[in-house]
Chain A
Amino acid sequence: MFDVIFIGLSLGSILLLVALGLAITYGAMGVINMAHGEMVMVGAYTTVMGGLWLHIGFLASLPLAFVITGLLGWAIERIVVRRLYGRLLDTLLATWGVAILLQQAVRLEFGLSFFGIHIRGLGPGLQNVKVPAWMTGVVSIGGDQVNIYRLFIILVTAALTFVTWLLMFRSDIGIQVRAITRNPRMAAACGIDVQRINALTFAYGSGLAGVAGVMMSGFKTVFPDMGSAMVVDGFMVVVVGGVGSLLGSVLSAGLLGQVNGGVAAVTNDILARAVVFGLVILIIIIKPTGLFSFKGR
Chain B
Amino acid sequence: MITQRRLDRAAYILFIALILLAPLVLGDFWVNRIAKFLVFGIVAVAVSLCWGYGGILNLGQGLFFGAGAYMLAMSLKLASATSMQQGSDHPVPDFMLWNADPGAPTELCCINRGSFLWLPFQWQWFGVVMGILLPVLLAGGLGLVVFRKRIAGVFVSVITLALVLLVRLVVIDAQPLTNGFNGLTDLGTFHVAGFGFDPYARATYYLVAGFLILTLVGSRLLVETRAGLILQAIRDDQNRARYLGFDVPIYQLFFFTVSAAISGLAGMLYVIVAEFASPTFMDLSFSITMVVWAALGGRASLLGACIGAILINVIAASISETATFVEAWKAIIGVVFVLVVLYLPRGLAGFAQDFGERLERRFADSGKTTTPGVIPQAQVPRGQAP
Contact = CB atoms under 8 A, between A and B. Distances in A.
Real binding pair? yes
A243 B337 CA distance: 27
B158 A89 contact: no
Interface stretch (B230-238, B250-258, B288-296): B288-296
A239 B158 contact: yes
Interface stretch (A10-18, A40-48, A94-102): A94-102
Contacts of B333: 97, 100
Contacts of B335: 97, 101
Interface stretch (B19-27, B144-152, B356-364): B144-152
A292 to B, nearest CB: 16
A274 interface: yes
Contacts of B146: 285
A235 B158 contact: yes
Given A104-B330, A277-B165, A284 B341 contact: no
A90 interface: yes
Which residue, A97, A104, A236, A273, has most C-beta atoms of chain B within 10 A? A97
Which residue, A83, A100, A235, has most C-beta atoms of chain B within 10 A? A100
Contacts of A93: 291-292, 295, 337, 341
Contacts, number: 117
Interface in B265-309: 284-285, 288, 291-292, 295
B162 A97 contact: no
17 contacts: A84-B341, A88-B154, A89-B153, A90-B341, A94-B337, A97-B338, A98-B338, A101-B335, A101-B338, A236-B162, A274-B166, A274-B169, A274-B170, A281-B159, A284-B151, A284-B155, A288-B149
Interface in A30-79: 32
Given A92-B157, A97-B338, A105-B331, A270 B169 contact: yes
B131 interface: no
Given A94-B342, A98-B334, A281 B163 contact: yes
A34 to B, nearest CB: 8
Nearest to A270: B173
B345 A99 contact: no
A100 B334 contact: yes
Contacts of A90: 341, 345
Contacts of B288: 96
A284 B327 contact: no
Nearest to A107: B327
Given A100-B330, A104-B331, A236 B338 contact: no
B334 A97 contact: yes
Contact of B169 (A32, A103, A277, A280): A277
A284 B163 CA distance: 12
Contacts of B172: 270
B97 interface: no
Nearest to A267: B173
A114 interface: yes
Contact of A228 (B145, B162, B285, B342): B285
A278 B166 contact: yes
Query: Secondary structure of the B side of the interface?
Result: helix
A283 to B, nearest CB: 10
Interface string B76-106: 0000000000000000000000000000000
Contacts of B154: 32, 88-89, 92
Interface of A: 32, 80, 83-84, 88-90, 92-94, 96-101, 103-105, 107-108, 111, 113-114, 124, 228-229, 232, 235-236, 239, 268, 270-271, 273-274, 277-278, 280-281, 284-285, 288
Which residue, A111, A229, A235, A274, has most C-beta atoms of chain B within 10 A? A274
B379 interface: no
Contacts of B153: 88-89
B318 interface: no
Given A88-B153, A273-B165, A284-B162, 18 more contacts: A89-B57, A93-B291, A93-B337, A98-B334, A99-B334, A100-B337, A101-B335, A108-B324, A108-B327, A108-B328, A113-B324, A235-B158, A239-B155, A277-B162, A277-B169, A281-B166, A284-B158, A288-B151
A199 to B, nearest CB: 17
Complex A-B, nearest 10 residue pairs according to Cβ-Cβ distance, in ascending order = A100-B334, A97-B337, A104-B331, A277-B166, A101-B334, A97-B338, A274-B169, A94-B341, A97-B334, A277-B162
B209 interface: no
Contacts of A288: 149, 151, 155
B161 interface: yes
A96 B337 contact: yes
Nearest to A286: B149
Contacts of A103: 330
B367 to A, nearest CB: 39
Nearest to B335: A101
B331 A100 contact: yes
A104 B162 contact: no
Contacts of B342: 80, 83-84, 94
B158 A236 contact: yes
Nearest to A287: B149
Contacts of B295: 93
